[in-house]
Structure 1
Amino acid sequence: MDALSLQPFGPNIWLADGPEVKVIGFRYPTRMVVIRLTNGGLLIWSPVALSEDLRRELQALGEVHHLVAPNSLHHLFLDEWQEAYPLARLYGTPGLRVRRKDLDLHAELGDVPPPEWAADLDQVLMRGNRITTEVVFFHKHSGTVLFTDLLQQFPVGWFHGWRAVIARLDLMMAAEPSVPRKFRVAFVDRCAARAALQRVLEWPAKKVVMAHGIPVERDGQAFIARAFRWLMG
């Protein structure tokens, strides 16, 4: 099956891995999530490069209604998605308007899900980080929490040379997905971050998906508590 083909991950939720991208000399895999909402429309979380195969698969699922940039760093492919789906509404976190003035942003995401997807998703902004403000989502029907960059895990051998050294020091190659050290240091308002995390921990999470790492498919709530123990301690 194609790397960009949609992979079922639960009721009305699919994953699709896209091509690698380079950021400051580091290779990153890309991943997006497709959620079919109660009204039948599709929500695309963190869109990857749009291929014809992927477009055909989406057409078979439904109509693309919403494009979501879950933090201000995940914006590389938004313009091609807006061109392909001009009627879809783009939602982004604080900071995206400044970074991408060329995009037609419908609204900024907050702690309350818009009515269009409130029946299917809950969300909370992880505030207080100097790198980016990330919105964390919870897909109610599959029990899946969606993180973008706050949790990462790269396999041994993914990076080489000095990049591998930096990745290890940054906790990007831990035994299980973890919060990179640069993001930990960048949380300058830990009270705000703890308040947001407390909401995340209240969700009955079964699974966890992240943009850069192997999905966690069981005991999601306990995994999130371990990954953020450094923040709550």
Structure 2
Amino acid sequence: MLTQFGREIWIADGPAVATGGFHYATRMAVIRLSGGGLLIWSPIKLADSLRAEVDALGDVRYLVAPNSLHHLFLDDWRRAYASAKLYAPPGLRKKRKDIDFDGNLGDAPVGEWAGEIDQVLVPGNLITAEVVFFHHKSGTVLFTDLIQQFPDDWFSGWRAIVARLDLMVGPEPRVPRKFRNTFVNRRAARAALTRILAWPAEKVLMAHGTPIEEDGRAFIRRAFRWLTG
């Protein structure tokens, strides 16, 4: 079910998916551009009820995978919205050779949404390169996996221990240790973060975690204090 998160942006939570022995909740965002077209960020499982809600908002024109890990449901959306353009982050074309992408996501906004959505590529991580977005009208920064937070009781047994050590659970969303430890180019990551912190962020949305609805820029500074020192 879609929930409005701000001006011209909606979110929907989907079923959990399993990867690496862990189950992850899923979340997507729908952004309506000034021309009425919709951009779908990190598409979740497409159910008939969700499709009806999305169609009521406008025409789906862009399908965006923000990093190379969030691609499981792209093909379902591509079949449902054959005229929509698909955009791939670094590394995804090689992983999903079965999908014909229309363009690549990089360090500058795609022309179709430039001026309404900004973006920064956060490079230098061995797990994935993530494209972070900023939606101007709602003041929302969209992270995917770089910031996470799960409920205390989400994991059990040894997985709960690993999640706690990895900083996946806690009072506030944080950058998991596995991402902190796999930044092999921290200078590049800091440069990307400087650009992200220049955005007038009010809210922060992530695929796995409680959304931040005020003082977004201050939250991002806290989340990345380990990187900036």
> What TM-score does the superposition give when structure 1 sets the normalisation length?
0.97
Q: Distance in 2 between matches of 1:210 and 1:23?
A: 18
Q: Over residues 185-223 of structure 1, what are the superposed CA-to-partner deviations in whole Å (9 max), with x where a residue is unaligned?
A: 110000100000000000000000000001000100000
Q: How does 1:211-222 map to 2 (within 5 A)?
A: 211-222=207-218
Deviation, structure 1 residue 69 = 0.1
Aligned position for 1:206: 202
Aligned position for 1:6: 2
Aligned position for 2:63: 67
Deviation, structure 1 residue 91 = 0.5
> What TM-score does the superposition give when structure 2 sets the normalisation length?
0.99
The structure 2 residue matched to 1:21, chosen from 17, 21, 36, is 17
The structure 2 residue matched to 1:45, chosen from 13, 38, 41, is 41
Q: Distance in 2 between matches of 1:122 and 1:48?
A: 22
AA at the equivalent of 2:167: L
Aligned position for 1:127: 123
Gaps of 5+ in 2: none
Aligned position for 2:134: 138
Aligned residues with identical type, % of pairs: 66
Aligned position for 1:89: 85
Deviation, structure 1 residue 112 = 1.0
Q: Distance in 2 between matches of 1:147 and 1:209?
A: 6
Deviation, structure 1 residue 132 = 0.2
Aligned partner of residue 107 in structure 2, secondary structure: coil
Q: Distance in 2 between matches of 1:92 and 1:174?
A: 31
- Where do 4+ consecutive residues of structure 1 move more than 2 Å? none
Equivalent residues, number: 229
Deviation, structure 1 residue 115 = 1.4
Q: Distance in 2 between matches of 1:23 and 1:104?
A: 24
Gaps of 5+ in 1: none
Aligned position for 1:80: 76
Q: Distance in 1 between matches of 2:118 and 2:96?
A: 26
AA at the equivalent of 1:125: L
Deviation, structure 1 residue 175 = 1.6
Aligned partner of residue 105 in structure 1, secondary structure: coil
Q: Over residues 114-143 of structure 1, what are the superposed CA-to-partner deviations in whole Å (9 max), with x where a residue is unaligned?
A: 111012100000000000000000000000
Q: Over residues 143-183 of structure 1, what are the superposed CA-to-partner deviations in whole Å (9 max), with x where a residue is unaligned?
A: 00000000000011100000000000000012200000000
Matched, 1:177 2:173: yes
Aligned position for 1:101: 97
Q: Distance in 1 between matches of 2:34 and 2:187?
A: 35
Aligned partner of residue 75 in structure 1, secondary structure: coil
AA at the equivalent of 1:173: V
The structure 1 residue matched to 2:156, chosen from 160, 168, 177, is 160
AA at the equivalent of 1:227: A
Q: Provide the aligned C-alpha RMSD in A.
A: 0.6
AA at the equivalent of 2:26: T
The structure 2 residue matched to 1:223, chosen from 210, 219, 222, is 219
User: Is this contact kept in 2: 1:178–1:227, CA < 8 A?
Assistant: yes
Q: Distance in 1 between matches of 2:206 and 2:88?
A: 17
User: Is this contact kept in 2: 1:38–1:119, CA < 8 A?
Assistant: no
Q: Over residues 71-92 of structure 1, what are the superposed CA-to-partner deviations in whole Å (9 max), with x where a residue is unaligned?
A: 0000000010100011100111
Aligned position for 1:55: 51
Q: Over residues 23-71 of structure 1, what are the superposed CA-to-partner deviations in whole Å (9 max), with x where a residue is unaligned?
A: 1111110000000001110000000000000111111100000000000
